[in-house]
Amino acid sequence: MKRIAGMPALAVLCSAALLFPIFAACGQEPPPKPGSSMTQTGPVALTLRRAIELALQNSKDIQLAKLQSSLSERSAQITRAEFMPNLYAGSGAGYTFGIPETPGGRAPSVFSVTYTEQVLNEPLRGQAKEQQEQARAQRIQLEDARNSVISRTAMAYLELAKVRHSLQILQQEESSADRILQVTQEREQEGLELPVRVTEAKLTKARIAQRRLQVEDREDELATFLHGQTGIPEEQSIEVSPEELPGEAEQEGANLVALAMVNNTGVRLAQSDVRAKQFRLTGEKRGYWPTLELVSIYSLLAKFNNYSEFFNHFQYNNYNAGVNVQVPLFSPRTKASIAVAQANLAAAQMNLTAKKGQVSTDVRQKSRRLREADAAKEIARLELQLAQQNLAVLQSQLDEGKANLRDVEQARLSENDKWIAYLDANFARQQAQLELLKTAGQLDKVWQ
């Protein structure tokens, strides 16, 4: 009889049948079968830092930037390889009539080995250095891609937390609007209110419902974006919590312009382009220098080419080694190449100057925007505090019979509106802070 893990198959089935009701009675599921995988379907609680970590791991933009950086490095190695030993082996066959020779002028050989190595070729060396600098620029592009992922993920996370908090407040507003409408309708039936007051109460309720639908749509957009950024399956909901940016973000204000001149990716790319163009110009200017190349050739010849009919002596093995030196006596191409390199360098230097001015202006502008956002947040906080105090006064008067329920609910609506305004002001400040840090090149350091 067939056995499973040393037990009869029938015994295993019977044991499973007996144990299943026990698990069910205890409110537990049977243990998973060996080798089976269990997929988590519950909500995922994310912190801001964890969301950014997952986004950096799963970002397609970063993966593409890595591939482009690797491609640039491989391309730079092609030119550098000319200054390394290059060894080629080959063979061939052909028909000869008259003096045996190949299209290159060499004697036909059964087997040949060629060695070449550039020793002195300054235009080619300048081109190689230019390509190496371009490869380093691709690594800067990779850092820029990381910063973009951090910025987008952080903004989406913070806004989603703000939106969900706003939804809770809007639900409270809907309850207050319902109570206001109910009280107003009762007073209208008693002849104490005009019908226009009932219409106003209905309009207030409809506006709150419309606003809630808009906020729910925005919540769905942000949640979908975070699912895509973090790689969390869409069937798992994401739980976020309101957070402030790390304290390090508050300590960079005084020297942000100076820091931006060093760390801003746009400035760094422009500086790298200037260095690359300088390498190319230096190499082209040295194009009037001689070029020197090590060469070596080994050839194995065969008698069937009838060398003895054309040469006094024939031998199978032939080896040549030496140096190939070329001295440019008149080279219009070198002069034209120098002119092109000078123009490219001048354009790169102008671009660097313009980029520094633009970044300096952006940092100052975004610093002012951050200060304005700070002021707006403080105003929103004080307005919320005032609304809360007014609500507390009306609630106390309601308890004493000096105010009616509709006034209290109206004050509660006002407080909720101020709450949402404060959340919007706080998020606007966080958004301005992230943009400023990204421009200054400090965004990545915040999350280290």
What letter would DSSP give residue 90?
E
Q: Strand pairing partners for 319?
A: 298
pLDDT at 248: 54
Cα–Cα distances in Å, from 79 out to 126, 316, 335, 344?
10, 35, 22, 20
Q: What is the pLDDT of residues 60-104, one digit of tens each?
A: 999 999 999 999 999 899 989 989 999 999 887 767 777 777 776
pLDDT classification of 297: cutoffs 50, 70, 90 = very high
CA distance 102 to 88: 17
Q: What fold does the segment set 48-331+348-362 form as a domain?
A: Outer membrane efflux proteins (OEP) (1.20.1600)
Q: What is the pLDDT of residues 399-409, one digit of tens each?
A: 888 888 888 88
* Closest C-alpha among 357, 352, 333 to residue 276: 352
Q: What is the pLDDT of residues 207-257, one digit of tens each?
A: 999 999 999 999 999 999 999 999 999 888 999 998 887 655 555 555 788
Q: Kindly tell me the burial class for residue 179, based on how many C-beta atoms sit within 10 Å of its own C-beta (0-12, 13-18, 19 or more).
A: middle
pLDDT at 24: 38
Q: What is the pLDDT of residues 308-320, one digit of tens each?
A: 777 777 788 889 9
**20 against 374, higher pLDDT:** 374
The domain locations on the chain are: 48-331+348-362
pLDDT at 190: 86
Q: Mean pLDDT for the chain? A: 84
* Cβ atoms of 128 and 94 closer than 8 Å: no
pLDDT at 426: 95
Q: What is the pLDDT of residues 113-146, one digit of tens each?
A: 999 999 999 999 999 999 999 999 999 999 999 9
Give the residue ranges of DSSP H helices in 81-193: 122-189
Rg (CA), the chain: 38
pLDDT at 100: 75
